[in-house]
A and B are shown apart, each in its own frame.
Chain A
Amino acid sequence: MIEVQNLTKKYPTLVAVADVTFSVREGEIVGFLGPNGAGKTTAMRVLTGFLPPTSGSARIAGHDVVAQSRRARSSLGYLPESAALYPEMRVREYLAYRARLEDVPGAEVRGRVDEVVASCLLDEVAGRKIENLSKGFRQRTALAGALVHRPPVLILDEPTVGLDPMQIIKIRQMIRTLGRERAVLLSTHILPEVDAVCDRVLIIDRGRIVAEGTPAELRRRLAGSPVVRAALKGTVAARGDLEKLPGVVAVQETASDGETRVRVECLPEADLVEDIFHLAVARGWVLRELARDVASLEDIFVRLTRHDETEPGASAEPVPEPQPEPPAPEGTPS
């Protein structure tokens, strides 16, 4: 439903989006993940037809965003950053206005407004002025506005920013529900959000996609070698025995406070938790802790978007490793 080919957007002083290619299918929720200023908002603005691309192309539901801009725009629902709304309007009035702008036939406007008021849980505030609403309700009103014409494609720019945890959970549930029959592209810099909501992740940094895959895939591919941690009672010289286990790459041992902590780095695909347990039983070590270190998306994200060094691990397919240039000044349009 969203197809992006070699999309580039240049500003006079920087390249905000550099040669980006990806697609989003119907029924799929794709997360655009990147630090602030990575080019997420710019990419979304190009997709929504708000900004023209410098080169490359993008299609929304088969319509080119430049050549068939109007058709492309009518197939998408867009929730811009910071949920821009008219403060002086009432919720229902605003939604009816949006519906009319989006070509909803006059006879259906009322019904559609009722529909999104119900689905976005806005009943209790439907008659209130937008300026008097809480941030959560405003965000939901803006989302309702993006849904009122039942678009097959949804583009949501940081949909949960500034909400409290309960509101975040509600919005995420809504997005999951919406994503069942639509193509959803959402941007975020909040990592748990990606895990909670997205089927697939695009990590974008300095305008380039530096990694792509499901959250689990990314972990597997980019996490590096698995690590097992163990804590043993007393001061034990475990290192020698551990290093003899098949599949072990390296062992670190630190002893303190009557406890010996070991960190065992293993070969990829090797699962040494059980081996270490059996070894401990055989040697009579008292195990206080035994755990797999799961590389979080956070680690991957930090590694991919860190700029002080080049990470060879990050160059794993499908896209080239993050390039140290062009320099992207902080605080530029994201």
Chain B
Amino acid sequence: MRKFLAIVGREWKAYFLSPLAYVILAAFLGLNGYVFTIILAVLNEPGAPKDQALLYLFANGFTSWFTLFAVPVIAMRLFPEERKSGTIEVLLTSPVTEVEVVLGKFAGALGFYLTLWVPSLIYIWILRSNAPIDLGPVAAAYVGIALMGGYFISVGTFASTLTKNQIVAAILSFGMLVPIFSTGLLDYLIRDPKNRDALSYVNMWTHLEEFARGVVDTRRVIYYVSATAFFLFLATASLAAKKETP
């Protein structure tokens, strides 16, 4: 556990020592700010459904697409950087297991992703000091953000074990994430109820909305946690297999 925490800490700190992290942070902050102005505009509209407005801070197209681009960039450095510099050799020859390495790096990247969301607490605070806001759905929305972020980052972690090249890793994870995210969107097109149910099970779009409304559905939690575990398992297997071919 201590080794896992050591890896998490190193990974998380490493983000703040690279310029790329600040680019992502700044872009995300700008985007959230823009979304917030829209929310304010909606709230100022007389007769607008005020209780729903905050939902759009989490469940909106901008943020989803931004996450889809940002996660591959966040995760791309995890393994390629160490492979390139050779530090992977030091890491894997110290008495740590591959699972600890993968989980540590995943948690470090997820930690950075969640850090992106920390400034959004300011918006909640601003709204709360001016209007009655129920904190339950807000908390649920953050749970949803964390679950979805974890899923995306596990995919990115897996992609980064596959190559020595960061750009290739980013493209690979983007290539995997887009179908993962958009398959669920197809449920608008399907009429057959069974297929529709299946698709809605993986429709992250509606999931986020649910979370933001304050619904923490166990089925959703299980879906995200198991998918995350699956990709982390793939990442561990891939890392172990890579040992054969330096």
Complex interface bits, A63-98 against B, C-beta within 8 A gives 1, otherwise 0 = 000000011011010101110111111000000011
- The answer to whether the Cβ of B243 comes within 8 Å of any Cβ in the partner chain is yes
Bound CA span A145–B94, Å: 11
Bound CA span A88–B86, Å: 14
Q: A45-B246, A101-B96 are in contact. Are A82 and B86 (CB under 8 A)?
A: yes
- The answer to whether the Cβ of B85 comes within 8 Å of any Cβ in the partner chain is yes
Closest Cβ of chain B to A197, distance in Å, is 22
Which residue of the partner chain, among B7, B9, B17, B90, contacts A88 with CB atoms under 8 Å? B17
Q: A87-B85, A88-B17 are in contact. Are A333 and B246 (CB under 8 A)?
A: yes
- The answer to whether the Cβ of B244 comes within 8 Å of any Cβ in the partner chain is yes
- The answer to whether the Cβ of B193 comes within 8 Å of any Cβ in the partner chain is no
- The answer to whether the Cβ of A50 comes within 8 Å of any Cβ in the partner chain is yes
Question: Which residues between 94 and 121 of chain A lie within 8 Å of chain B, taking CB atoms?
Answer: 97-98, 100-103, 106
Q: A51-B243, A52-B244, A333-B246 are in contact. Are A102 and B94 (CB under 8 A)?
A: yes
Asked if B93 contacts A50 (CB within 8 A), the reply is yes
Q: A88-B17, A100-B6 are in contact. Are A51 and B86 (CB under 8 A)?
A: no
Asked if B93 contacts A97 (CB within 8 A), the reply is no
Asked if B90 contacts A70 (CB within 8 A), the reply is no
Asked if B17 contacts A98 (CB within 8 A), the reply is no
- The answer to whether the Cβ of B135 comes within 8 Å of any Cβ in the partner chain is no
Q: Which residues of the partner chain A approach B90 to less than 8 Å between Cβ atoms?
A: 78, 80, 84, 98, 145
- The answer to whether the Cβ of A139 comes within 8 Å of any Cβ in the partner chain is no
Q: Which residues of the partner chain B approach A106 to less than 8 Å between Cβ atoms?
A: 2
Bound CA span A81–B10, Å: 22
Q: Which residues of the partner chain A approach B87 to less than 8 Å between Cβ atoms?
A: 84-86
- The answer to whether the Cβ of A49 comes within 8 Å of any Cβ in the partner chain is yes
Closest Cβ of chain B to A128, distance in Å, is 14
- The answer to whether the Cβ of A188 comes within 8 Å of any Cβ in the partner chain is no
Q: Which residue of B lies closest to A72 (CB)?
A: B95
Bound CA span A91–B246, Å: 27
Q: A52-B244, A84-B85, A145-B90 are in contact. Are A70 and B2 (CB under 8 A)?
A: no
Bound CA span A84–B95, Å: 17
Name, among B10, B87, B89, the residue most crowded by chain A CB atoms within 10 Å (CB to CB): B89
Bound CA span A89–B18, Å: 11
Closest Cβ of chain A to B21, distance in Å, is 11
Q: A50-B89, A51-B246, A81-B86 are in contact. Are A73 and B14 (CB under 8 A)?
A: no
Q: List 10 A-B contacts (CB under 8 A).
A: A48-B89, A49-B92, A78-B89, A85-B87, A86-B85, A88-B17, A97-B6, A101-B3, A102-B95, A103-B3
**Contacts A50-B93, A101-B95 supplied; 11 other A-B pairs, CB < 8 Å:** A45-B89, A48-B89, A76-B93, A82-B86, A86-B10, A88-B14, A88-B17, A100-B3, A100-B6, A106-B2, A145-B90
Interface residues of B, Cβ cutoff 8 Å to A: 2-3, 5-7, 9-10, 14, 17-18, 85-97, 243-244, 246
Interface residues of A, Cβ cutoff 8 Å to B: 45, 48-52, 70-71, 73-74, 76, 78, 80-82, 84-89, 97-98, 100-103, 106, 145, 333
